[in-house]
Amino acid sequence: MQIRKAKPEDLDSILEIYKIAREFMINSGNPNQWRKEKPAKEQIEADIKNGICNVIYEGDEIHGVFALCEGIDPTYSYIENGAWLNDEKYVTIHRIASDGKAHGIFEAAMNKCKEYADNIRIDTHEDNKVMQGALKKFGFKRCGIIYLSNGEPRIAFQWKKEVRIETKDLVLKKAEFDDWKPLLRNIWSHEESAKYMLWKVTKTQEEAKARIIRTLEFEEKEKYALIIYKKPEMEAIGFAAMRECEPGVFEEMGVAFGPDFVHKGYGKQVLTAMCEEAKKAGAKEFLASHRKLNVASKALIVSCGFEYDYESEEKEDPRTGEKYTIVNYRKKL
């Protein structure tokens, strides 16, 4: 499938696609989203003229159509029963349809839009179960209810680009709920993994399920809070996080692996990759730290080219009452 801007001579083919889509909606229990001749011919002509109408084609035949709109959509300024994922710049998909004769139309459109923007918004009718399912399949999250200019409600969805970092042996990305199983097995249940960190060991499946929910919530707030997966099986074996602590400066927030995955060079892969990702995001400097008694973390940080900065005042571990200090390092990127 290929995608290009629609031309005036495509109008008849596009109108036919929308006719087929309306009939499909009616037959699938969604008769009210596009009543009569919606989208109107005048709307489609305006889309073509404004350069926002795109057609999906194979050979000489057009099989799909959608409008990709930049700028603020006024109907999205108010949302209820939820909230948008962020307030960042976005594009909006409107009037997407296919003729049902070819597979992969929706996927082609989504892939094109995801290449173009980091945030995509779209809305659909509550009766359009087919569209709702497709949006969820392609990573869109339901955000709430918006209202069209005529007052009709629509379910609002948004997709945002997630961080994905790859190394030779690992992938760092956002968690999924089912990761609670390997995380419990590989790291959360091990005392040695928690020794130099501030989290408590997780012992039961119920605790692990509750913890993965907290992890998912934390990852929503922290862009670079990620789970570490081992290739090729993509088993969750640890976690890592960093954040921009001030303009141009990123700091590591913790890197941890289960005991079966240490001394394999994975730590250096992760820290090096995090530095590279921070640099791509505009960082000029990266900060890292370790507890003074954690000699393995010290060796890792030094091996990645960090230089000693300072040692913190004495702190107390709230789990054990143990006293400790933090050694801090800096690295120019």
pLDDT band at 192 (very low <50, low <70, confident <90, very high): very high
Between 187 and 136, the more confident residue is 187
Contact 3, 108 (CB under 8 A): yes
Section 143-169 average pLDDT? 93
pLDDT band at 130 (very low <50, low <70, confident <90, very high): confident
In terms of CATH, what superfamily is 165-332? Gcn5-related N-acetyltransferase (GNAT) (3.40.630.30)
Section 267-295 average pLDDT? 96
Greatest alpha-carbon pair distance for the chain in Å reads 75
Q: Domain segments of the chain: what residues?
A: 2-160, 165-332
Whether 30 has a pLDDT exceeding 80, the answer reads no
pLDDT in tens, 234-264: 999 999 999 999 999 999 999 999 999 999 9
Q: Identify residue 38 by its one-letter amino acid code.
A: K
pLDDT band at 33 (very low <50, low <70, confident <90, very high): confident
CATH for 2-160 is 3.40.630.30
Contact 196, 290 (CB under 8 A): yes
Task: Estimate to the nearest angstrom the gap between the alpha carbon of 176 and the chain centroid.
Answer: 11
Whether 34 has a pLDDT exceeding 80, the answer reads no
pTM of the entire predicted model: 0.68
Task: Give residue 225's pLDDT.
Answer: 96
Tokens of 161: 């680009």
Q: Do domains 2-160 and 165-332 have the same CATH topology?
A: yes
CA 276, CA 255: separation in Å to the nearest integer? 16
Task: Give residue 305's pLDDT.
Answer: 97
CA 263, CA 25: separation in Å to the nearest integer? 57
Task: Give residue 293's pLDDT.
Answer: 95
Q: What percent of the chain has pLDDT over 70?
A: 100
Q: What percent of the chain has pLDDT over 90?
A: 77
pLDDT in tens, 194-237: 999 989 999 999 999 999 999 999 998 899 999 999 999 999 99
Section 146-166 average pLDDT? 92
Section 76-94 average pLDDT? 93
Contact 54, 10 (CB under 8 A): no
Section 63-91 average pLDDT? 93
Task: Give residue 22's pLDDT.
Answer: 86
Q: Mean pLDDT over all residues of the chain?
A: 93
